[in-house]
Amino acid sequence: MLFSRFPRVHLADLPTPLQHLHRFGASVDHPQLYIKRDDFMSLGMGGNKLRHLEFWMGAALEQGADLVVACGRPESNQCRLTAAAAAKLGLDCILVHNTEPPGFLQGNILLSHLFGAQSIYLGETDEETRQQEAVALVERLKAEGRKPYLIGDVALGCLGYVNAAIELHQQALARDIDLRQVVIVGAMGATAAGFLFGTALLGHPFHVHVISVEYSREVLWSILERNFNAIGSLLGIRPNVTLEEVATIHMDYLGPGYALPTPEAIQATRDLAQTEGILLESVYTSKTVWGLRDLVARGIISRQEAACVIHTGGGPALFGQAQLYQPKK
């Protein structure tokens, strides 16, 4: 009922699995570690953006769109999954990238190409300029008689992770898991903000540790706060629990900056692969899992409390990061 007035299309295989990390947990001396497998979806090799896209594509279809426009760098998971969703729904797709054209397609941009998306390369520009170019493109397409929909209404997309928090809570209850701690990537804030809002709506059953992989604490907090409030306005609901009560931001795992790997995160990728057969990538998920491990080691997450990390996907990017994982000679 919470989302019934918002058009939505089925793109993700929900609920995604909640798996016990038996061997990885043993390696960090925590017997109650779990992982929420939002990488475990069939469309486009899966990932968190499919939850957002269920609502974005629902809005696009309701508005009669025949084409969707999305923005991101070539390695963008959102672009890949927008292209996959557009292919499934019979819509054209144009992707606007703020880079030079790559000389060789691999990882996410290869998949976007295979899904039939058209890519426009603006050269090295900032995100604001990229957004302005996308808006201008949408207006040109309208003038040509097309019906484009611009992907990216943040509050609307966040609904996917409001639902994810409710879904995780229900799974934990059904399995009699007293889940107290959740670790999630901060990134650009939409996924985390939705999850935090859902947690607040539930009355704060668990505390959410947000791992920053891109922004400073102050910038990320302002993004989360803005998105949290926007979701409340969209739904017409104000939770009784505040953002401050449900969330802690951790800056210790960012390393030298966005998309710059750390030795600890690279090791987390190796360890999760070799203990559980689960793959991470170096921009988002490896730093998040390293954060989980370190928070346990430091006692911030107690070994007596069940904890879960949200795997937001992004696996195809790993193949563009092969240089990080070559055998030592």
The pLDDT profile of the chain, 329 residues, written as one tens digit per residue, is 788 999 999 999 999 999 999 999 999 999 999 999 999 999 999 999 999 999 999 999 999 999 999 999 988 999 999 999 999 999 999 999 999 999 999 999 999 999 999 999 999 999 899 999 999 999 999 999 999 999 999 999 999 999 999 999 999 999 999 999 999 999 889 999 999 999 999 999 999 999 999 999 999 999 999 999 999 999 999 999 999 999 999 999 999 999 999 999 999 999 999 999 999 999 999 999 999 999 999 999 999 999 999 999 999 999 889 999 999 87
CA gap 41, 50 in Å, rounded: 9
Alpha helices by DSSP H, listed for the chain, are: 22-27, 49-62, 77-89, 107-114, 127-143, 154-174, 190-201, 217-235, 243-246, 263-276, 285-297
**Within-domain flag for 273:** yes
Query: In this structure, is residue 7 part of a structural domain?
Result: no
User: How many domains does the structure of the chain reveal?
Assistant: 2
* Side-chain half-sphere CA neighbours of 282 within 13 A: 23
Q: Is residue 60 part of a domain?
A: no
Shared domain check, 170 and 142:
no
The pLDDT value given to residue 328 = 84
- Tell me what pLDDT residue 2 has: 86
Token pair recorded at residue 63 = 């508005």
Looking at residue 177, its pLDDT comes to: 98
Count CA within 13 A, CB hemisphere, residue 87. Answer: 16
102 and 247 inside one domain: no
Indicate if 115 and 86 belong to the same structural domain.
yes
Same domain (yes/no): 73, 190: no
Rounded to the nearest 10 degrees, the angle between the axes of helix 217-235 and helix 190-201 is 60
Instruction: State whether 80 and 118 are in the same domain.
Output: yes
Q: 188 and 223 in contact (C-beta within 8 Å)?
A: yes
Residue 57 backbone phi and psi in degrees, to 5: -70, -30
Tell whether 264 and 183 lie within a shared domain: yes
Domain membership of residue 128 (yes or no) is yes
Within a domain: residue 225? yes
Contact 284, 108 (CB under 8 A): no
Q: Which is it for strands 18-20 and 247-250: parallel, antiparallel or unpaired?
A: unpaired
- Residue pointed to by tokens 């107290």: 180
Examine the domain organization and report whether 187 and 285 are in the same domain: yes
The whole domain housing 217 covers: 18-47+154-325
Round to whole Å and give the CA distance between 279 and 285. Answer: 9
Whether residues 175 and 282 share a domain: the answer is yes
3 belongs to a structural domain: no
CB 281 within 8 A of CB 48: no
Q: What is Dmax (Cα atoms) for the chain?
A: 61
214 and 188 Cβ atoms separated by less than 8 Å: yes
Q: 71 with 134: CB under 8 angstroms?
A: yes
Is the same domain home to 89 and 207? no
Of 88, 120, 146, the residue at which a domain comes to its end is 146
Q: Which of 128, 146, 164 is the last residue of a domain?
A: 146
In a domain, 2, yes or no: no
Same domain, 275 and 242: yes
Looking at the chain, how many residues does it have? Answer: 329
CATH code where residue 98 lies:
3.40.50.1100
**pLDDT for the residue numbered 81:** 98
pLDDT for position 254: 97
Residues 163 and 138 in one domain: no
Helices (H) then strands (E): counts for the chain: 11, 10
Domain boundary, last residue among 127, 146, 165: 146
Do 293 and 252 lie in a common domain?
A: yes
Tell me the CA distances in angstroms from 72 to 18, 120, 304, one per residue in order: 29, 10, 41
Looking at residue 329, its pLDDT comes to 78
**80 neighbors 316 (Cβ within 8 angstroms):** yes
Characterize the bridge pairing of strands 33-37 and 18-20: antiparallel
Q: Is residue 54 in a domain? A: no
